[in-house]
Chain A
Amino acid sequence: MKTINESIMKFAFFDGMRPEHLAVFPEGAKAVQFKAGDVLFRERDPASQFYLIESGKIALEAHEPANGTTSVQSLGAGDVLGWSWLFPPFFWHFQARAIEPTNAIALDGAHLLVSAERDHDFGYELMKRVAQVVIRRLQATRKQLLGLQIESAMEG
């Protein structure tokens, strides 16, 4: 447990968080390993975990029978992944797949959500950080849209 605890604290996501709030995260946390090609979760699966990626590479993908699998974002060491457990309908909107061997910590989303509901100081801290990560993801996605358009124009 001590090792997991120390690993968790290394993530920038937790920078500046008060000790009593930090203490909430390790409960129910598990160290998890994925081989290249392993699926962490599939679209529409119930969302219950919050992943802290220690090493490796994860692709976030849209999987459509007609068009195959399309990567929308890739995440690596130091990134956090997954917040669908925070909001109804509590299922994943995309698929996550390891594209390199990956070590991660899986935090218990249900425990975090219950803790947030019980202690709004904690909940506020958690949501502030999650919101910031979501904003960064949005900026990245918008840049990808822009980049894609430029690439297409150059090819055309």
Chain B
Amino acid sequence: MSARATRKSDTVRDIIVAHPFFKNLNPHYVHLLADCALFERFGIGQDIFREGQQADRFYIIHTGRVALETFVPRSGPTTVQTVEAGGALGWSWLYPPYAWQFSARAVEPVEAVAFGAASLRENAEENHDFGYELLLRMGRVMLDTLQGTRRKLVEFYVRDLVE
């Protein structure tokens, strides 16, 4: 393995260990995460994923900011939630049909760690201690998106009432 590759994998591991999403995670599971992790960068405006595409990754955001959007006929792409450094992104990989429900776009330069979804699912099924730790954290992320989307719905209702 080259020195460069080693340094890169150390960086990914360091980001995982320090990331709030994995706070209080049993250290024993860090290797399960690091083994299927990649460091990724996205420029401003760049798509991280698009609604309808295959959902095969899970992301933790190291730096930058991401807008989670859905397309609506009259308003165009509408942000339902923003995810900042320290946040986590994407849960459509958890269940079939494994297709993204929203689109994610970098609104600031983003550094993230991407995990292979198939590995996460397999490890969770094999080891329920890990699975519980992961799903408890994912549930929180999903609930944040649900609340954000409902807030957006309320905003639209109120706006339409005013109009």
Do B157 and A148 have beta carbons less than 8 Å apart? yes
Chain A, interface SS category: helix
Chain B, interface SS category: helix
For A153, what are the chain B residues with a Cβ–Cβ distance below 8 Å? 73-74
Do B72 and A123 have beta carbons less than 8 Å apart? no
Range of interface residues on chain A?
A: 35 or more
Let me know if A74 is at the binding interface, CB within 8 A: no
Let me know if B153 is at the binding interface, CB within 8 A: yes
Let me know if A10 is at the binding interface, CB within 8 A: no
Pick out which of these stretches binds chain B: A1-9, A22-30, A50-58, A128-136: A128-136
The chain B residue with its CB closest to the CB of A151 is B160
Let me know if A138 is at the binding interface, CB within 8 A: yes
Do A148 and B156 have beta carbons less than 8 Å apart? yes
For B70, what are the chain A residues with a Cβ–Cβ distance below 8 Å? 142, 145-146
Do B143 and A83 have beta carbons less than 8 Å apart? yes
The chain A residue with its CB closest to the CB of B158 is A67
Let me know if A32 is at the binding interface, CB within 8 A: no
Do A128 and B135 have beta carbons less than 8 Å apart? yes
CB contact between B158 and one of A70, A145, A150 (< 8 Å): that residue: A70
For B157, what are the chain A residues with a Cβ–Cβ distance below 8 Å? 70, 148
Let me know if A121 is at the binding interface, CB within 8 A: yes
For B152, what are the chain A residues with a Cβ–Cβ distance below 8 Å? 145
Do B156 and A124 have beta carbons less than 8 Å apart? no
| Complex Cα–Cα for A70 and B152 (A) | 12
| Complex Cα–Cα for A1 and B11 (A) | 54
| Complex Cα–Cα for A93 and B101 (A) | 22
The chain A residue with its CB closest to the CB of B138 is A131
Do B135 and A139 have beta carbons less than 8 Å apart? no
Do A139 and B101 have beta carbons less than 8 Å apart? yes
Do A134 and B143 have beta carbons less than 8 Å apart? yes
Pick out which of these stretches binds chain A: B31-39, B58-66, B125-133: B125-133
For B139, what are the chain A residues with a Cβ–Cβ distance below 8 Å? 83, 86-87, 127, 130-131, 134
Binding site for B on A (CB under 8 A): 60, 62, 64, 67, 70, 72-73, 83-84, 86-88, 93-94, 116, 120-121, 123-124, 127-128, 130-132, 134-135, 137-139, 141-142, 144-146, 148-150, 152-153, 156
Mind listing 29 A-B residue pairs with CB under 8 Å? Answer: A64-B154, A67-B154, A67-B161, A72-B153, A72-B154, A73-B150, A83-B143, A87-B143, A94-B147, A123-B132, A123-B135, A124-B135, A127-B132, A127-B135, A127-B138, A131-B135, A131-B139, A134-B139, A135-B92, A135-B142, A138-B101, A138-B142, A142-B102, A145-B149, A145-B153, A146-B73, A148-B153, A148-B157, A152-B74
